[in-house]
Chains A and B, each alone.
Chain A
Amino acid sequence: MKKKNVFLQNKTFVIFSVLAALIILTAIFAPLVTGGADPVKGVLADALLPPSKEHIFGTDKMGRDIFTRVIYGARVSLSSTFAVVALILIVGTITGITAGYFGGWVDAVIMRIADMMLAFPGLVLALAVAGIMGASIKNAIIAIVAVSWTKYARLARSLVLKIRNCDYVSAAVVTGSKTSHILFRYMLPNALPTLLVTAATDIGSMMLELAAMSFLGFGALPPAPEWGYMLNEGRACMQTAPWMMIFPGLAIFVVVVVFNMLGDSIRDILDPRDE
């Protein structure tokens, strides 16, 4: 019965996790939601139609249904955002735990690199990296990961340093436990919860960064449906077809709100500071 109480106490968490699940399901079952319409091919005769019964979000200048593109766009946005967050988490955790546990020159090198990244407006470097490597979703993901992992590395390092000198860790070392065993059984489980919570709260901002990259033309390539790039296309037709930029933007906004609320509520549940 205890489990039920937790859910009843955290209404925001329940509401927003259901909404997030709905968004993810919509993305997965995009063909069903859109009734089989093609997000890439359009009918040129139907170009730039305002929202109507047939096309509830209107059509773009290629005659493609914007509703279909927005729904399919969720696939690209969600999958790339989750990829970014997962990669940052993995890279940051590994480097942070390594730096914290081994110390010495390993720590010095990793942390100086992290300092370098922090001493710097992230998007500038991400843009440069993505631009230099060429525009694609993959490169945008790499660029954002390259400039964002340091936050997690610092966090993981500080968490490891906290328990590094605990008696039970020393005992494990003295009794001859393998280093890998100590790292996976003691260091990782201690650091992971905090890191996961941080990752959950970062989903929204990572999605915004990816969309910004695509908007500038350094992310998804046309004709793939992606919200940031759709906004870019919509900008050109703003005077004649404002619906082209309103709906993709609304989609980003709604999804980011849901994931931000979800992240915040997870943090509120797990963070004892507020109690």
Chain B
Amino acid sequence: MNKKQILKRLLQIVIVLIGISFITFALTFMSPGDPVRNMYTATGVMPTEEMIEETREELGLNDPFFVQYTRWLTNCVKGDFGKSYSLNKPVTELLLSRLWPTLKLTLMSMFLMLLISVPLGLISAIYKDKWMDYVIRALTFLGCSIPNFWMGLLLMLAFCVYIHAFPVISSSGDFKSLFLPALTLAIAMSAKYTRQVRTAVLDELSQDYVIGAEARGIKKSRIIWCNVFPNSLLPLTTMFGLSIGSLLGGTSVVEVIFSYPGLGNLAVSAITSSDYNLIQGYVLWMALIYMVINLLVDVSYRYIDPRMRLKE
């Protein structure tokens, strides 16, 4: 990617963000839940009709749609996503405080995923159509079909209730409480990733240079470690980047199961208490992070694959 392409992508990100902000804002505008009422019930006050009307006026909730939307959008651009109705704190502050735990969980599960899927994928490709390959393929198939929240509950049952090796509630954020949620996410992803590793390695193995090297009597293990494996890393980077992005958004179910204090958990509680500012802030931030990661992955090709630089 050259500079012009990167600029174009950045522009695209801005357009998509505006579109998403419009959709989420329109949705919350049309929604049946009443944030003011929720705000009062959260603090334990039984509000009168006048109080509600007054607060609505104060928060600007009685203005026409486009007035509210542009006001909100200009504030967002300035970095101010408003206040969370239910938690009575600035949205940006809340999101930032939860970002690190989710990031930790994401990185940990990516690490576990690589630990599981790369060796399995390699073995499966090298011993193609042998029993090991069949076992691994069957496992990946089952892994794709198992609901990750059930997997999480089963792991919890086994390791927290029966063996007491890990805490049931992972709110402290240390390694022990991080491990099971990360493992749950890693198992689900490994199932897909192992297949991808297998395909990528098989693709490389069928290249002519492998036959050439074999014909010259170079050891198979040397070919695999020095040529095939490094070459098959490129297609894997794309998937790696994409899965970081989808993980950041897809952790909510697992976070809820393990009561992990991350972004996903925050988002779910925001949704149940119709905390619009928080939902909108969360959705926009997630979209931004996801797209920036995808852009970085695309840019990184330039450095990983010299051919990309030659093309330009």
Residues of chain A at the chain B interface (Cβ within 8 Å): 112-113, 115-116, 119-125, 127-134, 204, 208, 211-212, 215-218, 228, 231, 234-235, 238-239, 242, 245-246, 249, 252-253, 256-257, 260-261
Which of B28, B150, B161, B252 sits near A239, CB closer than 8 Å? B161
Which A-chain residue is minimally distant from B253 (CB atoms)?
A212
- Cβ contact within 8 Å between B145 and A253: yes
Given the known A-B contacts A120-B290, A121-B290, A132-B28, are A238 and B153 also in contact in the complex, defined by CB atoms under 8 Å? Answer: yes
Which of A116, A129, A215, A239 sits near B253, CB closer than 8 Å? A215
Which B-chain residue is minimally distant from A245 (CB atoms)?
B153
- Cβ contact within 8 Å between A128 and B24: yes
Given the known A-B contacts A249-B154, A256-B147, A260-B145, are A242 and B290 also in contact in the complex, defined by CB atoms under 8 Å? Answer: no
B52 → A minimal CB distance (Å): 20
Which of A123, A127, A134, A211 sits near B33, CB closer than 8 Å? A134
Q: How far is it, in angstroms, between the C-alpha of A165 and the C-alpha of B75 when the chains are bound?
A: 48
Asked whether B245 is an interface residue with its Cβ less than 8 Å from the other chain, the reply is yes
Q: Which B residues lie within 8 Å of A113 (CB)? A: 19
Q: Which B residues lie within 8 Å of A131 (CB)? A: 268, 271-272, 274, 279
Q: How far is it, in angstroms, between the C-alpha of A188 and the C-alpha of B156 when the chains are bound?
A: 48
Which of B32, B250, B252, B290 sits near A119, CB closer than 8 Å? B290
* A-facing residues in B21-46 (Cβ within 8 Å): 24, 27-28, 31-33
Q: Which A residues lie within 8 Å of B20 (CB)? A: 116, 120, 125
- Cβ contact within 8 Å between A128 and B279: yes
- Cβ contact within 8 Å between B249 and A121: yes
Asked whether B69 is an interface residue with its Cβ less than 8 Å from the other chain, the reply is no
B261 → A minimal CB distance (Å): 16
Q: How far is it, in angstroms, between the C-alpha of A108 and the C-alpha of B201 when the chains are bound?
A: 38
- Cβ contact within 8 Å between B147 and A253: yes
Asked whether B233 is an interface residue with its Cβ less than 8 Å from the other chain, the reply is no
Which of A119, A129, A132 sits near B274, CB closer than 8 Å? A132
A161 → B minimal CB distance (Å): 22
Which of B32, B147, B154, B286 sits near A208, CB closer than 8 Å? B147
- Cβ contact within 8 Å between B27 and A123: no
- Cβ contact within 8 Å between A256 and B286: no
Instruction: Give the 7 A-B residue pairs with the shortest CB-CB distance, closest first.
Output: A121-B249, A131-B271, A249-B150, A124-B249, A256-B145, A132-B31, A257-B145
Asked whether B146 is an interface residue with its Cβ less than 8 Å from the other chain, the reply is yes
Asked whether B65 is an interface residue with its Cβ less than 8 Å from the other chain, the reply is no
Asked whether B149 is an interface residue with its Cβ less than 8 Å from the other chain, the reply is yes
* A-facing residues in B67-86 (Cβ within 8 Å): none
Q: Which A residues lie within 8 Å of B32 (CB)? A: 133-134
Q: How far is it, in angstroms, between the C-alpha of A7 and the C-alpha of B33 when the chains are bound?
A: 53
- Cβ contact within 8 Å between A123 and B249: yes
Given the known A-B contacts A119-B290, A132-B28, A242-B161, are A252 and B256 also in contact in the complex, defined by CB atoms under 8 Å? Answer: no
Q: Which A residues lie within 8 Å of B19 (CB)? A: 112-113, 116
Asked whether B122 is an interface residue with its Cβ less than 8 Å from the other chain, the reply is no
Q: Which B residues lie within 8 Å of A129 (CB)? A: 27
Given the known A-B contacts A121-B248, A125-B283, A249-B154, are A212 and B27 also in contact in the complex, defined by CB atoms under 8 Å? Answer: no
Which B-chain residue is minimally distant from A146 (CB atoms)?
B23
B141 → A minimal CB distance (Å): 7
- Cβ contact within 8 Å between B145 and A204: yes
B150 → A minimal CB distance (Å): 3
A212 → B minimal CB distance (Å): 5
Asked whether B115 is an interface residue with its Cβ less than 8 Å from the other chain, the reply is no
- Cβ contact within 8 Å between A132 and B33: yes
Q: Which B residues lie within 8 Å of A115 (CB)? A: 12, 16
- Cβ contact within 8 Å between B27 and A133: yes
A214 → B minimal CB distance (Å): 10
Which B-chain residue is minimally distant from A125 (CB atoms)?
B283
Which B-chain residue is minimally distant from A217 (CB atoms)?
B272
- Cβ contact within 8 Å between B279 and A132: yes
Which A-chain residue is minimally distant from B31 (CB atoms)?
A132
Q: How far is it, in angstroms, between the C-alpha of A256 and the C-alpha of B191 when the chains are bound?
A: 15
Which of B146, B154, B286 sits near A124, CB closer than 8 Å? B286
Asked whether B291 is an interface residue with its Cβ less than 8 Å from the other chain, the reply is yes
Asked whether B246 is an interface residue with its Cβ less than 8 Å from the other chain, the reply is yes
Q: How far is it, in angstroms, between the C-alpha of A261 and the C-alpha of B144 when the chains are bound?
A: 11
Q: Which B residues lie within 8 Å of A208 (CB)? A: 145, 147
Which of B146, B153, B272, B290 sits near A231, CB closer than 8 Å? B153
Given the known A-B contacts A116-B19, A204-B145, A260-B144, are A231 and B31 also in contact in the complex, defined by CB atoms under 8 Å? Answer: no
Asked whether B142 is an interface residue with its Cβ less than 8 Å from the other chain, the reply is yes
Q: How far is it, in angstroms, between the C-alpha of A75 and the C-alpha of B145 when the chains are bound?
A: 19
Contact sample, A vs B, 10 pairs, CB 8 Å cutoff: A116-B16, A119-B290, A124-B282, A128-B24, A132-B276, A204-B144, A215-B147, A238-B161, A253-B146, A260-B144
